Amino acid sequence: MGNEETVEVVLKNTSYSNHGSAAPMRKEETVEFTTKNTSYYYQGRILTYMSGVDLSYNKLTGEIHYQIGNLTRIHTLNLSYNNLTRSIPRTFSILQQNESLDLSHNNLNGKIPPQISELYNLAVFSVTYNNLSGETPERINQFGTFEEISYQGNPSFMWPSIAKKLWITTHGAKSFDG
């Protein structure tokens, strides 16, 4: 194609290791941003000032590190189309300014943490095509606006209306109002 561009971000002196260490992110980090074979270096608390992070289609593997929840000023987080595993971090509930969260097309499993319903500014939410289980977070605040399409492709996941029908069926109810 010839129009492809390589973008590389290297974080130096920053703790993102996920080997059981609970070490916090350092306050001063150097970020090398490389695009079109030109490197730019930024120093300081740059990660706390990012307004959006898009790491989609990057072949990322492993679990989502809980410290991503410390990026409290971001408005968008897109980690879709990777090979991320394990569960969605509870710390995502700290992303209070987040308006868009896309975790679709990964291999995430477990339940969606209930704390995530505290994201009052969230307008776009997608966890499609993972291996999530359980039900949607409580349908309050913004989570009351997300339709079934935001959750599709999770074989063990139950949309509330399906869970309600299963409860009625297994408890022998003859009629259902509502």
Question: Residues 101-158: pLDDT tens digits?
Answer: 999 999 999 999 999 999 999 999 999 999 999 988 888 778 888 988 999 999 998 8
Mean pLDDT (whole number) for 150-176: 64
User: Is 69 a residue whose pLDDT tops 50?
Assistant: yes
**pTM, entire model:** 0.68
Q: Which of 10-14, 42-46, 151-155, 164-168 has the lowest mean pLDDT?
A: 10-14
What the chain holds in terms of domains, given with CATH numbers, is 1-47 (no CATH), 50-170 (3.80.10.10)
| CA–CA distances in Å: residue 149 to residues 116, 165, 170 | 18, 19, 26
How far from the centroid of its chain's Cα atoms is residue 18's Cα? Answer: 17
Number of CB atoms found within 10 A of residue 136's CB:
24
Is residue 17 over pLDDT 90?
Answer: no
- Nearest residue to 100 via CA among 80, 77, 70: 77
What is the pairing mode between strands 61-63 and 83-86?
Answer: parallel
Q: If DSSP codes are grouped into helix, strand and coil, which group holds residue 91?
A: helix
Tell me which of 8-17, 75-84, 152-161 is least confident: 8-17
* Residue 47, pLDDT score: 63
